[in-house]
């Protein structure tokens, strides 16, 4: 007889069984470790140091070459990893609670609350994202905190829509009616019973949101309205615009490769999670 497993351990098993998903997961873990080590000052804290000549190509000494000042591109890339991962994390930490809360109350209560929330996110999402980001970062001033808030405040809409739809679907199901029958209140029904049943959507979305936030940070920094004073992949790509003319490709290479792997990993992981967390597949062999 097969042992009973929870949805989460089942999902984890599915992911580690699939090689590509497993590799993606490992990549995410590695990036997280790098970000943590940089935050603690163990690595890349000396990114400002001039280590060699200007524009030294990649070599055994400087793995990713040096930039226009003679700073190590590898250190800048690693520092950029911390910036990118922190932006992903904080964006999710702002956008997900907002999306869940607004989506669930809109879906559950319906009526005027639903109309207000739907009106709000429709209006919000009709403003071009990048313009909204620029204006928010103008209001909040420049810097990493402004980027967190700007991205968090602009990226909850998609999740909010999904959660609203799911809650509408679930709120009349038998198990919810059963809770009503035994005298459960609105909040109990919503947060204790419905939410756990739709939480897989949140997880999948978080994974996708994470990489969208990273990409947005790169774009903002490339445009000069993102992070200030510390290295970022976007700023490295901006530097590369003029460097490419002179055959200096390593700064672009470092930033894009670093970005490529984490974005790809999160995308694959998002897909894998969707398969793994689908409750209909629970207990079946993949």
Which CB atom, from 1 or from 229, has the smaller least distance to another protein? 229
Residue from 244, 260, 279, 283 in contact with another protein (CB under 8 A): 244
Distances (CA, A) of 58 to 4, 96, 230, 259: 53, 40, 22, 19
Q: Which residues contact 84 (CB under 8 A, 6 or more apart)?
A: 35, 214, 217, 218, 232, 233, 258, 259, 262
Q: Within its chain, how far is the Cα of 185 from the centroid?
A: 34
Told to check if 131 binds another protein by CB under 8 A, we report no
Residue from 225, 255, 259, 273 in contact with another protein (CB under 8 A): 225
Q: Which stretch binds another protein (CB under 8 A): 4-12, 147-155, 210-218, 237-245?
A: 237-245
Q: How far is the CB of 224 from another protein (least distance, A)?
A: 4
Distances (CA, A) of 83 to 14, 145, 229, 255, 263: 31, 11, 12, 12, 14
Told to check if 247 binds another protein by CB under 8 A, we report yes
Q: How far is the CB of 71 from another protein (least distance, A)?
A: 8
Interacting positions 27-66 with another protein (CB under 8 A): 48, 50, 54
Residue from 3, 229, 284, 285 in contact with another protein (CB under 8 A): 229
CA distance 130 to 122: 16
CA distance 41 to 37: 6
Residue from 78, 243, 251, 277 in contact with another protein (CB under 8 A): 243
Told to check if 191 binds another protein by CB under 8 A, we report no
Which CB atom, from 110 or from 143, has the smaller least distance to another protein? 143
Told to check if 257 binds another protein by CB under 8 A, we report no
Which CB atom, from 68 or from 119, has the smaller least distance to another protein? 68
Told to check if 139 binds another protein by CB under 8 A, we report no
Told to check if 249 binds another protein by CB under 8 A, we report yes
Residue from 246, 280, 284, 285 in contact with another protein (CB under 8 A): 246
Told to check if 256 binds another protein by CB under 8 A, we report no
Told to check if 75 binds another protein by CB under 8 A, we report no
Told to check if 83 binds another protein by CB under 8 A, we report no
Told to check if 68 binds another protein by CB under 8 A, we report yes
Q: Of 286, 260, 242, whose CA–CA distance to 68 is shortest?
A: 242
- Positions touching another protein (CB under 8 A) are 48, 50, 54, 68-69, 71, 138, 142-143, 224-225, 228-229, 235, 238-239, 241-247, 249
């Amino acid at each position: 007889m097969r042992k009973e497993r929870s949805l989460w351990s089942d999902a984890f098993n599915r992911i580690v069984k699939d090689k590509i998903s497993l590799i993606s997961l490992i990549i995410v873990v590695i990036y997280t470790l790098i970000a943590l080590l940089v935050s603690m000052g163990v690595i890349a804290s000396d990114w400002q140091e001039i280590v060699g000549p200007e524009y030294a190509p990649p070599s055994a000494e400087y793995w990713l070459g040096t930039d226009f000042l003679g700073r190590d591109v590898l250190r800048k890339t690693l520092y950029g990893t911390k910036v990118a991962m922190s932006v992903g994390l904080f964006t999710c930490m702002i956008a997900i609670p907002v999306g869940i809360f607004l989506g669930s109350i809109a879906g559950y209560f319906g009526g005027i609350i639903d109309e207000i929330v739907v009106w709000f996110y429709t209006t919000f999402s009709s403003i071009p994202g990048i313009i909204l980001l620029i204006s928010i970062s103008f209001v909040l001033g420049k810097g990493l905190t402004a980027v967190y808030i700007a991205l968090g405040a602009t990226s909850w809409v998609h999740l909010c829509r999904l959660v609203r739809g799911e809650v509408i679907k679930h709120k009349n199901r038998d198990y919810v009616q059963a809770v009503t029958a035994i005298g459960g209140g609105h909040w109990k029904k919503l947060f204790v019973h419905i939410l756990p049943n739709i939480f897989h959507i949140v997880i999948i979305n978080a994974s996708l949101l994470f990489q969208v936030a990273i990409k947005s940070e790169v774009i903002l920094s490339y445009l000069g309205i993102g992070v200030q004073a510390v290295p970022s992949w976007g700023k490295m790509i901006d530097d590369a615009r003029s460097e490419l003319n002179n055959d200096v490709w390593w700064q672009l290479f470092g930033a894009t490769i670093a970005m490529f792997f984490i974005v790809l990993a999160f995308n694959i992981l998002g897909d894998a999670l969707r398969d793994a967390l689908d409750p209909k597949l629970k207990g079946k062999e993949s």
